[in-house]
């Protein structure tokens, strides 16, 4: 991986949840390239280990660890493995998250006759269990790892937490109320936690990515038959002043800046949009 700049994370231990995915694996690569010992945590242990193996092949120190971010016992077991392999956590990156189709409406607006169309999922049809799952995955999936790994940070210098919010937290997208609300909770929690941990010496900030192609959203943004943008994807690009999706490496600079206490030691409680101007554009 080519870094925009390097910071010195030598001797530090970085824990990345959601480490089986594309974006979080990229985060792990960047941190490892700066000298951190990286633990990639994921419910899919095989995916986490594959990504960890790629980090090791590139010369980094990394392990893949099975962990369920919604299960405190699973996280404590993972923390014990990380502690045994690398030592206590210095940097926690809460990358696990996602959405559910059952927490998504079929249309952007409710119109006359929609309630009579059984093929549609309206606001009134949203599955409460699916909405609960999305909130839990994104919010509790940030809170629980923080409860477990932040305990290893207490009393030690240069420790920080980086959460992953979303542009949905700033401007909720149509059709996905559960995910938008959950990410808004992550942003709010980032600010709350930054204040709560300020006197304990732990900084807490967040990245808010705009639209990046990932394994999770690929089928929503790219038509499987034609390989071209879907209608929703075209609308996203049209409302992104830079006129394209982001690329995963374009998150790296902000990540490294927030991870470095030398570069951002007085930065605490912020949520940084990385969105190609999406949040600045009114649509006209």
Residues with active-site annotation? 179
Instruction: List the strands of the sheet with 91-94, edge to edge.
Output: 61-66, 37-42, 13-17, 91-94, 159-164, 202-209, 271-274
Contact in structure between 255 and 36 (CB atoms under 8 Å): no
Instruction: Name the token pair of 225.
Output: 């038959």
Q: How large is the angle between the packed helices 22-33 and 252-259, nearest 10 degrees?
A: 50
Contact in structure between 160 and 259 (CB atoms under 8 Å): yes
Nearest residue to 162 (alpha-carbon basis) of 55, 90, 266: 90
Q: How far is Cα of residue 150 from the mean position of the Cα atoms in its chain?
A: 18
């Amino acid at each position: 991986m080519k870094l925009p700049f390097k910071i010195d994370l030598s001797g530090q231990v970085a824990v990345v949840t959601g480490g089986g995915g594309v974006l979080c694996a990229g985060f792990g690569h960047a941190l490892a390239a700066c000298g951190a010992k990286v633990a990639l945590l994921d419910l899919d242990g095989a995916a986490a280990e594959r990504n960890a193996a790629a980090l090791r092949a590139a010369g980094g120190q990394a392990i893949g660890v099975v962990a369920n971010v919604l299960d405190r016992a699973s996280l404590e077991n993972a923390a014990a493995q990380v502690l045994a392999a690398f030592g206590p956590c210095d940097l926690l990156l809460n990358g696990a998250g996602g959405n559910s189709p059952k927490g998504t409406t079929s249309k952007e607006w409710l119109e006359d006759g929609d309630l009579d169309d059984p093929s549609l999922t309206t606001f009134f049809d949203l599955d409460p269990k699916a909405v609960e799952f999305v909130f839990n995955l994104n919010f509790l999936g940030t809170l629980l790892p923080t409860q477990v790994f932040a305990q290893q940070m207490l009393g030690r210098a240069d420790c920080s937490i980086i959460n992953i919010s979303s542009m949905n937290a700033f401007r909720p997208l149509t059709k996905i109320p559960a995910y938008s609300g959950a990410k808004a909770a992550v942003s709010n929690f980032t600010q709350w936690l930054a204040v709560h941990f300020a006197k304990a010496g732990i900084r807490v900030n967040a990245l808010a990515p705009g639209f990046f192609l990932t394994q999770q959203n690929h089928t929503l943004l790219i038509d499987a038959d034609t390989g071209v943008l879907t209608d929703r994807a075209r609308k996203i690009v049209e409302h992104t002043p830079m006129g394209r999706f982001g690329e995963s490496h374009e998150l790296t600079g902000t990540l490294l800046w927030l991870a470095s206490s030398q570069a951002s030691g007085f930065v605490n409680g912020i949520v940084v949009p990385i969105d190609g101007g999406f949040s600045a554009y009114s649509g006209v």
